[in-house]
Amino acid sequence: TLAVPAAPSILRRSRARRGGKRVRFAQVTVYYFARRQGFTCVPSAGGSSLGMAPRHHRARRYSLSQFAHLRQVSHRQHLRQHLRREKLRARRRELTQNGTVPSAEAAGLTLADVSDDDLDVGQVEVGDYFYLQPLPTKRRRALLRASGVRRIDAEERQELRALRLSREQCGCLCRLTCEPRTCACSQAGIQCQ
């Protein structure tokens, strides 16, 4: 009998190749842009959208460890601000009996009235918490003003409201069978949804 050598496994070859070459990064380049009114996205809440200037005004290079440290510090600051706003809301609710009774004391409270000692930052894992948070309308407007935007285009707010409303209605109203004369999908040239 003649012994035929077994063909080498395709899987073994691909594993060997994968381990050979790797891409390694040594630096991170961060580009900084000024804020502008967006006109390109639709925020889930009312008001204008945030955007950025077409060209960056600054660029910085960091090592990977510097960048990781910078992100951790930034995330911790965002977390602290978020917890401070939550604590302020809770205090205002307490002073107004869950928002039912107006209170001059509650109206006078500001973020400065919430100290770092009142926050439980140690209880929250920063990595678990941090993700992009939607910003309320007032906060977006304040960010735009702080970035030098003097006139916020009010028409964008109306356009965004119309877009949000149009996105709530999806498909057509056909039931069981499609009626092409009344089907919004068919009239738009797409299959009945």
Residues 6, 9: Cα–Cα separation, whole Å? 9
Lowest mean pLDDT among 60-64, 69-73, 139-143, 171-175: 171-175
Domain boundaries, the chain: 27-152
Band the pLDDT of 60: cuts 50, 70, 90.
Answer: very high
Alpha carbon distance, N-terminus to C-terminus of the chain? 66
Phi, psi at residue 31, to the nearest 5°? -105, 135
pTM, two decimal places? 0.57
The count of other CB atoms within 10 Å of the CB of residue 156 is 15
Per-residue pLDDT tens digits for 143-155: 899 988 888 888 8
Task: From residue 80, give the alpha-carbon distance in Å to each of 131, 135, 175.
Answer: 14, 16, 51
